[in-house]
Amino acid sequence: MNTPTHDPYLDTIRRSREDKYLKYLKERSRERLKKDESSKRSFFKQEVRLTDYINLSEDFANILIFTLVLIIPYSVGIIFIFLIIAKFNIETFEGINISNPVIYWTIGYEIVAFLILILIIKSSISFRKSK
């Protein structure tokens, strides 16, 4: 059986290593706080990471984002044309002769981009008010 023996020298070394590690952790947390404070001063200099919002593997997240970039603007474009241009009328919507589906995507992309810009501006204004 190995019974632990009391060795003052080893205890001193162990305590010293623990103290150094705790000191390192404190310095690291201070550096992180300083970095966070400096990055929070400007809204547009903040770092945005998708992994903070999406808990998926990187490969699956890339595939999902690519698919959503294709589907969402196309759907928004079709809905916009149906609601605004055709005014809820299916006959008018079917009568619109758009042979290229990229046009639907382009219209939807512009609408989605406009909405995202509005959200960014709104977030920037509320960020400045919270300071």
Q: Which residue has the higher pLDDT, 3 or 8?
A: 8
* pLDDT at residue 43 tops 80: no
pLDDT of residue 75: 96
* pLDDT at residue 10 tops 70: yes
pLDDT of residue 38: 60
3-class SS of residue 42: coil
CA distances from 53 to 56, 58, 64, 104 (A): 9, 12, 13, 29
Is the separation of the CB atoms in 33 and 117 below 8 Å?
no
pLDDT of residue 3: 56
The label of the residue with tokens 């079917």 reads: 94
The 10s digit of each residue's pLDDT in 70-121 is 999 999 999 999 999 999 898 998 898 888 989 999 999 999 999 999 999 9
The label of the residue with tokens 């699956």 reads: 60
Tell me the Cα Rg of the chain.
28
Q: What is the per-residue DSSP string for 58-72?
A: HHHHHHHHHHHHHHH
The ranges assigned to domains in the chain are: 8-37, 63-131
Give the mean model confidence (pLDDT) for residues 38-44.
63
Give the mean model confidence (pLDDT) for residues 62-74.
92
- Average pLDDT in the chain: 83
pLDDT of residue 36: 65
Residue 92: which residues within 8 A CB-CB, separation 6 or more?
Answer: 85, 86
